[in-house]
Amino acid sequence: MRYISVKCIKGYCFGFILISTLGCKKGEWYDVKTDKSLAVPSTLKDMQALLDNVGVLNGSTIALGEIGSDGHSIKDADAQRLGDTEYNAYTWSYGKPYITVADWASNNDIGAYPRIYYCNTILDGVKKLTPANNEEQLLWNSIKGQALFHRAKNFFDLAQVFAPPYNVTTANTDLSIPLRLESDINIPSKRSSVKETYEQIINDLLTAETLLPATPLFKTRASRPAVFALLARTYLCMQDYVNAKKFADSCLKNFNTLLDYNILSTTDAQPFTIFNPEVIFHSRMLSYRSIRAAMIIDPELYDLYDSNDLRKEIFFTKNLTTGEVKSKGTYTGTVLLFTGLASDEVYLIRAESNARSGNSKAAMEDLNNLLRKRWKAETFKEFTAIDAEDALRQVLNERKKELLLRGLRWSDLRRLNQDERFKITINRIISGTTYTLEPESFKYTLPIPDDIIQITGMTQNLGWGK
């Protein structure tokens, strides 16, 4: 079996990626010339090397939902400099073309479907290998589990942007994303239902859990706690709070470390280090201007933080002259936004699930365990709730404050807007033009990229017809 470098497999995989994603027959839409000297990974070592290409598999999570979320804005001049896709997402509009959308697939390095192709190439490859001993069996298991985890996470991230929110009454008929499950480029792509998408995500993760180690060598690799955390996140989006709690419990039994913000510097430009103790699985978001250099935090969000809440100084920096607030602290240890899995999110998932089941005591216990690590130690007093409704509102408020800019707010808005108690309308004004995102609007499901529609003839998402 021949060894192949990550660079080599990138050339092979992505030479086909657009066609494999679109489901066209070879040569039907593009005259593809392949380099036959390139080969797919054929050894376990090759496959692990491909999975450890963190710049691709961990480095460019979908960002369009975060761009469209509340809590931040940009100045008019910066808005005019946005690329077409970014401008559309920021204004919840379709006035400019959605072509080669990076969150979907745009070149040899970027997009969820290139990453899915990586995973399918590995999953097809491990079927052909028979481990020679126990050590090889453990590696074989881990590689398959990692590929399943990455595929599930990419399906999940795609579904949060390009598929309708999960609704138990319509999930079986709502059109979702194409589920690419093989590396064979000749298998046509077709849209699945929302129910099928979530079933595939869950099945991939449940299988991965049986194969992965409890503790990975690196936080860029999947593990059982990461699987449990992603299952909890998935069930939360499905509003299945029983299973969300179940898998949050499973995660926290294996990984429950919380970082004490009292030990962090409130004046450092980057207070967090990469792979901090809370991180279960590391990944970061695609970099766009509107969620990086140009982003201004809304005063309404900033004012939610108490003066004794350390997050106010650790997450943000305020210009005392202009009053503008900028984001500074992320779990990547850089200006790039963290989209991985961390224990703080899991505590909040369990807290919300308990509140929704009427167990306000357990909900507030988890909330206090988290907030105790967020407030100035000498000022912290335990939060209390008068009933489960009060507990739920407190948990959701802390979820908004704790998990901002993690790529989760868009999913939360889609989910919570289905509840009359939590519906909100978001407005943005650019050069005198007002853009509005209403609760349960079709705009919460972004259009499938124009080039995909043109080539495949797939049905466009509802509301976006031109």
Phi and psi, residue 94, nearest 5° = -140, 30
Helix 388-402 vs helix 343-356: angle between axes, to the nearest 10 degrees? Answer: 160
- The CA distances from residue 292 to 72, 149, 257, 321, in Å, are 11, 28, 28, 21
Measured between alpha carbons, how far is 122 from 141 in angstroms, rounded to an integer? 12
Ordered by where they begin, the domains of the chain are 251-424 (1.25.40.390)
Q: What is the pTM of this model?
A: 0.92
pLDDT tens string, the chain, 466 residues long: the values are 233 334 434 433 433 333 333 333 332 222 222 333 345 788 999 999 999 999 999 998 999 999 999 999 999 999 999 999 999 999 999 999 999 899 998 766 689 999 999 999 999 999 999 999 999 999 999 999 999 999 999 999 999 999 999 999 999 999 999 999 998 878 888 999 999 999 999 999 999 999 999 998 999 999 999 999 999 999 999 999 999 999 999 999 999 999 999 999 999 999 999 999 999 999 999 999 999 989 999 999 999 999 999 999 999 999 999 999 999 989 999 999 999 999 999 999 999 999 999 999 999 999 999 999 999 999 999 999 999 999 999 999 999 999 999 999 999 999 999 999 999 999 999 999 999 999 999 999 999 999 999 888 899 999 997 5
Which residue in 373, 362, 292 sits closest to 334, CA to CA?
292
Instruction: Please name the residue that has the structure tokens 């005019």.
Output: 80
Q: Using CA of residue 191, residue 197, residue 200, residue 204, what is the dihedral sign?
A: positive
Task: Please list the residues that pair with 437 across neighbouring strands.
Answer: 426
Sign of the CA dihedral running 388, 390, 392, 395: negative
* Distance in angstroms (rounded) separating the CA atoms of residues 199 and 240: 13
